[in-house]
Amino acid sequence: MTGLLAHPITRFLARRLAYSAVVLLGVLIVSFALVHLVSGDPVRIALGTRYTPQAYEALRSASGLDRPIVGQFFGYLGSALTGDLGVSFRNGDPVTEILLERLPATVSLAGVGIVIALLIAIPAGIWSALHEGRLSDAIVRVGSQFGVSIPDFWMGILLIALFSSTLHWLPTSGYRPLVEDPIGWLRHLVLPAVTIGLVAGAIMTRYVRSAVLEVAAMGYVRTARSKGLSPRVITLRHTVRNALIPVLTITGIQLATILSGVIVVEVVFAWPGLGRLVYNAVAARDYAVIQGTVLLIAALFLLINLIVDVLYAVVDPRIRLS
């Protein structure tokens, strides 16, 4: 056991898990406080036309909202440590089950979206950097600036207008589970994933270009040129590989951002993921769903950062996890 704990990877994972636990606790405290500062009575909203004083008091007591806020927080914290994130005010379903039901839709959308972004950003960024100052470089930079500037919801509306309303090639909105209808899942996934991929790809293209230009100016690249190595070898072995570290960083950031920030895209395409869940939960003042979703997104963000840190050591042997 002592030898296992002394291993660099074990120590690294232990430190990161401790760090992640502290961050999640901070996220829980902040989200709990902010949610309870939002105006509106969630119990009254949940009851709607079924409101009676007796039903109001019963639901308020059952949800624990009749206790002091400090008692509510520690009660929620104790339940969260066992995996119980409470129940939804709107339908009474366990929040954990709701999140597990919505998570595959968001993960599939984010995964395909980031793949599309990488397919755009890596070749475009490398090409632009290798042709710095030429017409092709200017075209890539203008195109990436256009992609960064246009809002993702507007991009989605344009794609719907072209491929759904005009060409009738793809559905405007909706979702099909992958295991039940793979073809339907793919047809409904294309437009929202392309919307995310175009916007994220434009952002990442600029980072890839900058990273390649920075590495290309290094001394070892000039030395490789002076030795007479072919441009292909210099680009692949010396330039692109060493530029992967900042590219990995921006890829991790973009993936985490997509997982936590596709609310508008999911609403536009009626995609039943975490973003749309948060949107509806905020409108309904569904405290438990909001807190559970924020906690899950924070955990996913930390997990992605951990994976990126490990990949650093894989890509560049000079980096050690210790």
Q: What is the pTM of this model?
A: 0.79
In a domain, 305, yes or no: no
**Statement: residue 272 has pLDDT above 80:** yes
Tens digit of pLDDT for each residue in 158-167? Answer: 889 988 888 8
Q: What is the largest CA-CA distance in the chain?
A: 85
166 inside domain:
yes
In a domain? residue 14: no
Is residue 148 in some structural domain?
Answer: yes
Please state, as a whole number, how many other Cβ atoms lie within 10 Å of the Cβ of residue 275. 26
The alpha-carbon radius of gyration of the chain (Å, integer) is 24
Give pLDDT, residue 115.
92
On whether residue 322 sits in a domain, the answer given is: no
Q: What is the DSSP string of 113-171?
A: HHHHHHHHHHHHHHHHHHTTTSHHHHHHHHHHHHHHHS-HHHHHHHHIIIIIIIS--S-
The 3-state DSSP class for residue 285 equals: coil
- The CATH number given to whatever domain includes residue 133 is 1.10.3720.10
Residue 260 has pLDDT above 50, yes or no: yes
> Is residue 19 in a domain?
no
pLDDT at position 2 over 80: no
pLDDT(282) > 50? yes
Put residue 135 in one of left, alpha, beta given phi > 0 → left and psi -120 to 50 → alpha.
Answer: alpha
Q: How confident is the model at residue 119, as a pLDDT?
A: 92
181 inside domain: yes
Q: Could you please report the per-residue DSSP string of 185-211?
A: HHHHHHHHHHHHHHHHHHHHHHHHHHH
Instruction: Single out the residue of 257, 275, 256, 260 nearest to residue 102, CA to CA.
Output: 275
Mean pLDDT, the chain, integer: 80
Domain for residue 285, yes or no? no
What's the domain range around 124? 96-273
Domain count, the chain: 1
